[in-house]
A and B are shown apart, each in its own frame.
Chain A
């Protein structure tokens, strides 16, 4: 079936503008994650949604970053008043919360989307 999809694939914006990045997880996956991949910093966790629970926002770098997930499926990551240091590849991942039934009681495999490459000029 279809994997995780993200749009746009590339986004160029001017400093100070707001941007929205979209993620469509794999159908049936109720866990959804956002990560950021930047030069020199590697992959950093941003935010995590699990079903109807309150999201884990502990990785968001500032209050300019927010995310929502509507209907337990599609998620949008919004960056307000973008700064040049926000330039990075933003990755979305999803997993099936089968309580680890396929992996001996531990977390399920996360499947990643192709990412959105954001460039802030």
Chain B
């Protein structure tokens, strides 16, 4: 079964502290992994995807196939990073629906 688990509903960190949002997945095959972010009063938008191996807004995520994890990290949190973060996966066979985790609300405290 396809499943994405985000164990933390809420994560609070101080500004300047490192951030790690956890994501574990279950999928038979080779999925593609994504992080989506939803800022207050804004639409859901793509933050990064593992295939691109990019760093967006200082965030990175490494796919660990052995641990089936795709944790999102940032060395120094900023107040503007406060948002809802969703980890998601899709199959690699072209366009397929996303399977989302339940999300983690990140709160960065000044």
Please measure, in the bound complex, the distance between the C-alpha atom of A31 and the C-alpha atom of B90, giving whole angstroms.
14
Chain A, interface size: which category? 20 to 34
| Chain B residues positioned under 8 Å from A43 (CB to CB) | 44, 86, 88, 98, 100, 103
Grouping DSSP codes into helix (H, G, I), strand (E, B) and loop, the A interface class, with mixed when no group exceeds half, is loop
Complex contact A50–B95 (CB within 8 A) = yes
The number of A-B residue pairs with CB atoms under 8 Å apart is 66
Q: Which of A3, A41, A50, A107 contacts B92 (CB 8 A)?
A: A107
Please measure, in the bound complex, the distance between the C-alpha atom of A48 and the C-alpha atom of B90, giving whole angstroms.
13
Chain B, interface size: which category? 20 to 34
Please measure, in the bound complex, the distance between the C-alpha atom of A102 and the C-alpha atom of B12, giving whole angstroms.
36
Please, which residue of chain B has its CB at the minimum distance from the CB of A109? Answer: B46
With A42-B103, A48-B97, A103-B49 as known contacts, state yes or no: A115 contacts B43, CB within 8 Å. Answer: yes
Please, which residue of chain B has its CB at the minimum distance from the CB of A110? Answer: B98
Complex contact A103–B51 (CB within 8 A) = yes
- B window 89-103: CB within 8 A of A: 90-103
Give 20 A-B pairs besides A99-B94, A103-B51 with Cβ atoms closer than 8 angstroms: A33-B97, A33-B98, A35-B97, A35-B100, A42-B86, A42-B100, A43-B100, A48-B95, A48-B97, A97-B94, A100-B94, A103-B52, A106-B32, A107-B93, A107-B94, A107-B95, A107-B96, A108-B95, A112-B44, A112-B45
The 3 tightest CB contacts between A and B, nearest first, are A42-B102, A43-B100, A45-B97
Binding site for B on A (CB under 8 A): 3, 31, 33, 35, 41-45, 48, 50, 56, 59, 91, 95, 97, 99-100, 103-115
